[in-house]
Amino acid sequence: MTKRLKVAVVGSGEWGAQHARIFSSRADTDLVAIVGRTSEKTISRAQEYGVRSYIDLEQMLETEKPDLVSVCLPNEGHFAPTLQIIRAGVPLLVEKPLVFELPEADLLLAEAAKRDLFFAINFNHRFAEPVLRAKAAIDAGVIGEPIFATWRFGGEANHGTSKHANLIETQCHGFDMLEHLVGSIESVSAQMMDATYGDWSTVAIALKFENQAVGTMLGSYDSSYAYSDSQLVEINGTLGRIVIHDTVRGLTIQTAGDETAQTWQAGYFNDEARNFKGTFDRHVNVILQALRAGEQPPVHARAGRRALQLAQAVIESHESGKKIEVGNYDSRQ
């Protein structure tokens, strides 16, 4: 029989509840602890799942000795606890964004590399059914060579202390998705708007890819997730195009010159594929397979560092008024 892995969740917030839900419900994992910042909320979440609660991360690591720690904290509070878990030598899965500063990202990755530590990040959009199908179609040459790509993602604001929260903590999905589907981004050029509440809440970015394709990204905290196609990806190639609607809602593939299109939407009983939260469940499946096999994570934390590198280049472009070269990216390095 497969050994059940002991998993601790760090974070007792809304998305942290998804971490707890997943690891408490799997047949191959035991949720052993919830770590939070405030006693009342942490105890409540731990009682919900019948596990122990901790405010002290070090105490939890020493007492529970988990096989994996899953980290979901407020976006700007990732660095210190992540570093603490790495230095304790415990495999970990972290939420995006990795951190907000490149030196912090580099330190986390260096410390994990010294320990040959399993270090995954939850870019769960990659595991949505439309994205899986789009990736397979692109790799199979269905739309030919990519020519241009568009990412649009906008909703209500998630206020923090950083004026670039929209760019770093939300549009990181866009950077990751476009490089996942089209290839390495070579340069960026940006415009930003801060008219609503003082932060750079809406950004428009022009992209150039290593393969000579071009692209655009539009990310906003001045919109609404209630709108249809609040998240939209279009990849146009020499032979056709692919459009992904709202991450999990639908996929359209159309051949150039053909007025008909193929459309995927989840069938009547296929609740799993239409469920956005289920993209995390899918990711966890392959994370645990890799961890058990002694392999690298399906999405290494390096992808979080890369998204931050691109975001910082966008900030530099906005501040300087210039196009910024970012260098090609190999996810294996």
Question: For residues 253 and 247, what is the distance between their CA atoms, to the nearest angstrom?
Answer: 15
**Are 188 and 121 a contacting pair, CB within 8 Å?**
no
Task: Look at residue 162 in the predicted model and tell me its pLDDT.
Answer: 96
> Under 8 Å CB-to-CB from 263, ≥6 apart: which residues?
250, 251, 252, 253
Task: Look at residue 331 in the predicted model and tell me its pLDDT.
Answer: 64
Spell out the per-residue pLDDT of the chain, length 333, in tens. 578 999 999 999 999 999 999 999 999 999 999 999 999 999 999 999 999 999 999 999 999 999 999 999 999 999 999 999 999 999 999 999 999 999 999 999 999 999 999 999 999 999 999 999 999 999 999 999 999 999 999 999 999 999 999 999 999 999 999 999 999 999 999 999 999 999 999 999 999 999 999 999 999 999 999 999 999 999 999 999 999 999 999 999 999 999 999 999 999 999 999 999 999 999 999 999 999 999 999 999 999 999 999 999 999 999 999 999 998 887 655
The DSSP 8-state label assigned to residue 85 in this structure reads: H
Structural domains of the chain, ranges and CATH numbers in brackets: 5-124+280-300 (3.40.50.720), 125-274+307-325 (3.30.360.10)
What is the amino acid identity at position 27? A
Task: Look at residue 329 in the predicted model and tell me its pLDDT.
Answer: 80
Task: Look at residue 327 in the predicted model and tell me its pLDDT.
Answer: 86
**Residue of 277, 244, 33 whose CA lies nearest to 152:** 244
Q: Which residue has the tokens 């609607």?
A: 245
Q: If DSSP codes are grouped into helix, strand and coil, which group holds residue 217?
A: strand
pTM: 0.96
Task: Look at residue 330 in the predicted model and tell me its pLDDT.
Answer: 76
CA 125 to chain centre: 6
Strand residues in the chain grouped as ranges (E)? 5-10, 29-35, 52-54, 68-71, 92-94, 119-121, 146-154, 185-193, 202-209, 214-220, 231-237, 240-245, 250-255, 262-264, 324-325
Task: Look at residue 273 in the predicted model and tell me its pLDDT.
Answer: 97
